[in-house]
Chains A and B, each alone.
Chain A
């Protein structure tokens, strides 16, 4: 396993690795410096990116880190997505893109790998010139010494003979020339010319296509299937029943799709037959039992008992689909006891575990190639579609490509869990004295049986043996409650004199999983709405009240100060505009947002959002801005309109007409400021999401006096249930 910041080597430092490196260089002219960096004889650099590119810009970020250490322009780096490789398991002992950790990891790993390659190249040139390596520098892909220059491409064979430095010297922050500057995305051109190859565009020889008909209720299986007519369709190879549905397999996707309309299926009841989200929400809203204590400082009960004023209520959030625009898809080829996967996945490791378990083959016999993904938002961590393709390939003995319909993507769940956050806050003598918060949610830790240690006995075998240690280490940080139920509340930076947080899990058979910013997507809403209620009750300015609980020198206060200025908070908003502020710390990044809201014919319109972010060093500030803009708009779609509801077990939303996503005419202007920093980078893919719902709800209160405590806010506003 590779440890962040540890030595990256190729088959260890010396011995066979060295011999192999020399042989490879002599044959090809390529310097395989380490697992991440290859220097080509042309002087171009191939960089292996051990992450999924889901739009967050990791290929550009990693290319920037490598280019910085190697002293080459960004466009000389060719970034390639890594396939499954045990040596590249950097995220909780997995290859996984999640928890906004990619740049955090890469800032050490990629720079380390690139600096090692640079030192090998310098060493080679210095030896050639018989000068000291310390007297050489690099510039534009050359090693330079006293007027002499050698291009990297000319040095690869010599460099291959040098030891791989274990502790290469990294550039200091003050010497950065690329990191911190606006750089064009390395993948932009391919994406605007239609040449970028996403998972759905993948092809392998002899491949067939499968269109899958899923049941009406999650987990329902086919009981009877009439496929006589479908099998007569041109191109149809077979109609195959799998545990999750009926697959029409054909030479072309359009043939399978056309034939699918003629398949008649009756279904078993399904795992969530009868589930009704309205009843579930009612039960969670009125639930009164004590939960498991997660945080307890001071005396929250006493603070609330002695308060002059108590505020708060039940903050609620629905199930949500991630709905990335590229529907779930995968290609799998099973031959004997081996499987090869080509898919836009957020985790090769979890894919290996699921596929090996489904086929009863060894973990290491599943090879995964990672494709560009049309959005992820957490949906591509659980490889359910890949398992379907694997089962089908084993049956038809050819590579099978599965493309889900939008309807399957939306109804075959891996949803953000439902939440009810029971919250009380206390004010005495104009000061906040305490808060008591009970987070009730469907537990991701327990639900993700294939993923987490919540239900050990049901873990797929390969997961149990391969990655459980890492996961348990992750969960040991909060072994009594579900970490995702209370993250963002239990660890709040606010210093409440009395503070108690408890958690209770709600379970059913509908799987829940990761959705951009995970628990923070709800806890940010609850906590920042509660703090706004406290400010109103204490008759305090919401910025001033927050600062009073955060300390004058904190990152939080620095962000709030900048946000107050950026948003022009001291100037009252125009008539008809309400303004709200919220902040949240997630994935080590602090984000503050001010939303300006109006209500036009009953429709909540967010006109403008100001955003200040402290994410340490912004490797590419323009991508940080893009992630703030995008995170705010993604979060706003959920805050205003989106929900997945079930009636009698059936998901009511099937496509973008009933699961609306914000569009151009409703997208706010977003103004972003990045706090200058010399600290190591922290996450940027997710942290813009948590504050936006509260900023909007607080703005609606500011405008109307109505406190909305339930998402989606538009429905709550229409029903006015929240006051």
Chain B
């Protein structure tokens, strides 16, 4: 079947019920999307499917074959960073970093629907993503910073 991943069409030969996560990681070769729980409980595998956040570990690839898929690798073209990634960098968010691709993909969608989110909206938007290192206070700051960056209210800090 054909998949549209990060703007590129790729042909994969897998059963339709195969989880998108493993197709991305093993067939497309994009390993930035992570396996954490396999049950849509941790959010490490979050990608965008047709502009919506999806848990790729429980998404059958056959269900998304005709839809545009974006992974962490497709958020921005290096050396450019997406403003959310830029904010993450400026707040020194990652510790082990394993959950951060999923956190960032979730935050990007949150900011699309709530360009200036309140703390309560960040709670709602981000609480399905687990971080065992406990980077939540920095993620909160980084989401606020990303909102300000995207609104042009602050400049990029090198």
Interface positions of A (Cβ within 8 A of B)? 53-57, 182, 184-185, 187-198, 200-201, 252-254, 257-258, 323-327, 372-377, 403, 405-406, 622-623, 626-627, 629-634, 655-657, 661-667, 669-670
B40-87 with Cβ < 8 A to chain A: 41-42, 44, 71-73, 75-76, 78, 81, 85
B95 touches A200 (CB 8 A): no
A254 touches B19 (CB 8 A): yes
A184 touches B134 (CB 8 A): no
In the complex, the chain B residue whose C-beta lies closest to that of A628 is B134
| Nearest CB of chain A from residue B40's CB, rounded to whole Å | 10
Find B134's partner among A188, A201, A252, A629 (CB 8 Å cutoff).
Answer: A629
| Nearest CB of chain B from residue A263's CB, rounded to whole Å | 17
Q: List 29 A-B contacts (CB under 8 A).
A: A53-B96, A54-B96, A55-B95, A55-B97, A182-B92, A184-B89, A187-B97, A192-B81, A193-B72, A193-B81, A194-B71, A194-B101, A198-B34, A253-B26, A254-B18, A254-B23, A372-B97, A374-B96, A374-B97, A374-B98, A375-B132, A626-B92, A626-B135, A630-B134, A634-B132, A634-B133, A634-B134, A655-B41, A661-B130
Q: How far is the CA of A666 from the CA of B128 in the complex (A)?
A: 12
Q: How far is the CA of A375 from the CA of B97 in the complex (A)?
A: 8
A253 touches B138 (CB 8 A): no
Q: Is B5 an interface residue (CB 8 A)?
A: no
A325 touches B130 (CB 8 A): yes
A403 touches B104 (CB 8 A): no
A667 touches B33 (CB 8 A): no
Q: How far is the CA of A184 from the CA of B94 in the complex (A)?
A: 11
Count how many pairs of residues, one from A and one from B, have CB atoms less than 8 Å apart in the complex.
181
User: Chain A residues near B10 (CB, 8 Å)?
Assistant: none
| Nearest CB of chain A from residue B75's CB, rounded to whole Å | 8
Given A193-B78, A194-B30, A663-B127, the answer on whether A622 and B132 have CB atoms closer than 8 Å is no
Find A257's partner among B22, B92, B123 (CB 8 Å cutoff).
Answer: B22
Find A405's partner among B27, B38, B130, B136 (CB 8 Å cutoff).
Answer: B38
Given A324-B132, A325-B99, A634-B133, the answer on whether A664 and B88 have CB atoms closer than 8 Å is no
Q: How far is the CA of A165 from the CA of B63 in the complex (A)?
A: 64
User: Chain A residues near B42 (CB, 8 Å)?
Assistant: 325, 656
Find A197's partner among B27, B31, B137 (CB 8 Å cutoff).
Answer: B31
Interface size on B, residues (CB 8 A): 62
Find A373's partner among B14, B17, B96 (CB 8 Å cutoff).
Answer: B96
A200 touches B33 (CB 8 A): no
Given A198-B98, A374-B98, the answer on whether A252 and B89 have CB atoms closer than 8 Å is no
Q: How far is the CA of A57 from the CA of B139 in the complex (A)?
A: 17
Interface positions of B (Cβ within 8 A of A)? 14-15, 17-19, 22-23, 25-27, 30-39, 41-42, 44, 71-73, 75-76, 78, 81, 85, 88-89, 92-101, 104, 122-124, 126-140
In the complex, the chain B residue whose C-beta lies closest to that of A620 is B92
B98 touches A185 (CB 8 A): no
Find A632's partner among B17, B44, B134 (CB 8 Å cutoff).
Answer: B134
| Nearest CB of chain A from residue B86's CB, rounded to whole Å | 9
A253 touches B22 (CB 8 A): yes
A327 touches B133 (CB 8 A): no
A326 touches B30 (CB 8 A): no
A661 touches B72 (CB 8 A): no
Q: A655-B38, A663-B130 are known contacts; what are 15 more A-B pairs with Cβ within 8 Å?
A: A192-B97, A194-B31, A194-B32, A194-B73, A253-B26, A254-B26, A258-B17, A325-B42, A375-B98, A626-B95, A629-B134, A630-B133, A632-B134, A655-B37, A667-B136
B89 touches A633 (CB 8 A): no
In the complex, the chain B residue whose C-beta lies closest to that of A251 is B26
Given A194-B33, A325-B44, A629-B137, the answer on whether A664 and B123 have CB atoms closer than 8 Å is yes
User: Chain B residues near A632 (CB, 8 Å)?
Assistant: 134
List 6 A-B pairs, minimum CB-CB distance, nearest first. A194-B32, A374-B98, A633-B134, A55-B96, A191-B97, A194-B72
User: Chain B residues near A372 (CB, 8 Å)?
Assistant: 97
A200 touches B100 (CB 8 A): no
A664 touches B26 (CB 8 A): no
| Nearest CB of chain A from residue B32's CB, rounded to whole Å | 2
A656 touches B32 (CB 8 A): no
Q: How far is the CA of A662 from the CA of B138 in the complex (A)?
A: 15
A193 touches B73 (CB 8 A): yes
Find A327's partner among B36, B127, B129, B135 (CB 8 Å cutoff).
Answer: B36
B36 touches A406 (CB 8 A): yes
User: Chain B residues near A185 (CB, 8 Å)?
Assistant: 92, 94
User: Chain A residues near B139 (CB, 8 Å)?
Assistant: 664
